[in-house]
Amino acid sequence: MKLSLKKLLLCLFLLLTMGLLSAGDLYVTPAEELVYRFRTQSGKVCAIAMEKSGAYLVYRYGTEDNVELQFPESLEKSWDLFTYEWEARGAANLGFTYDSVIFINKGYEYTVYYCDYFSDEEISTCIEIKSPEGKLIRIEGLPSSVQGDITQLKKGKYPLRVVKPDY
């Protein structure tokens, strides 16, 4: 298949303007690979990345031009600071899968969720932040903006604590 230079440039322009390709990515460095990313309803970016050889895992959140929070600040032994929780329930028409990455930063518990509902093939994603006093803040994500696969973290090849709740 032959693609003209003009069509190629048009495709690159469209990808850049839609935010699917970035000239400079603050959320995933050249030494890292994307695990999971989405935009929030307010337009902010939530991203989880890992160093390409698996040396560390990192969470970043902020605007397109400014990372407002990176956890952890020091990437050494970062795997010990994260927990992966997952659950799968029900049948094909009523079930769901739920996957999350959890960490605690300065007393606040952050949970990045991904949920897939089988009945309507719909997904949801969000960040929940629980204060030390128990107050819960939920930041909704845009399902159409999801990139990556958070479930790759539960496959056992990374030094991450994986929990499946028992009910």
The whole-model pTM stands at 0.80
Interatomic CA distance for residues 138 and 10, integer angstroms: 37
143 assigned to some structural domain: yes
| Range with lowest mean pLDDT among 21-25, 32-36, 58-62, 137-141 | 21-25
What was the pLDDT predicted at 115?
Answer: 85
How does residue 5 score in pLDDT terms, banded at 50, 70 and 90? Answer: low
Task: Provide the residue range defining the domain that includes 152.
Answer: 28-156
Model confidence at 153: pLDDT above 80: yes
What was the pLDDT predicted at 11?
Answer: 45
60 assigned to some structural domain: yes
Model confidence at 158: pLDDT above 90: no
Q: What is the pLDDT of residues 76-124, one digit of tens each?
A: 889 999 999 988 777 655 677 888 999 999 999 999 999 887 666 678 8
75 assigned to some structural domain: yes
112 residue type, one letter: V
What is the Cα gyration radius of the chain? 17
Total domains in the chain come to 1
Interatomic CA distance for residues 72 and 70, integer angstroms: 6
Interatomic CA distance for residues 141 and 114, integer angstroms: 10
- Find all residues with CB under 8 Å of 24, minimum gap 6, and list them: none
163 assigned to some structural domain: no
83 assigned to some structural domain: yes
What was the pLDDT predicted at 3?
Answer: 52
34 assigned to some structural domain: yes
162 assigned to some structural domain: no
5 assigned to some structural domain: no
